Amino acid sequence: MAGKIKGSSKLAKSAKKENNNKEHLNLIKPRKSTALKAFRLYENDLQCLHKVAEKMNEASHRHVSETAVIRALLVLGTKTSPEKLIKALRETI
């Protein structure tokens, strides 16, 4: 009958050494969590959005979604002067 082996192996010793040496490697950067925001638009706003998306699809060689149109409008809004944005806001009221 075989009993327990009382000696220790080289493999067991190296595994213990590796457990004590805890190196932390950041190979993958954690992604930023996205915060989703929902907006409610009136019917005429949805129609305008659809028209803008159609115009962009005619000018583009690939399909442009309405979400992409909203993103593009946000970029334009950051480059536009606040006075022009206020003027456009007054036109919507």
Q: Give the tens place of pLDDT for each residue, 23-51.
A: 666 677 777 777 888 889 999 999 999 99
pLDDT given at position 93 = 78
pLDDT given at position 15 = 54
Half-sphere exposure of 66 (CA within 13 A, CB side): 8
What would the mean pLDDT of 2-12 be, rounded to a whole number? 64
Q: Give the tens place of pLDDT for each residue, 50-72.
A: 999 999 999 998 999 999 999 99
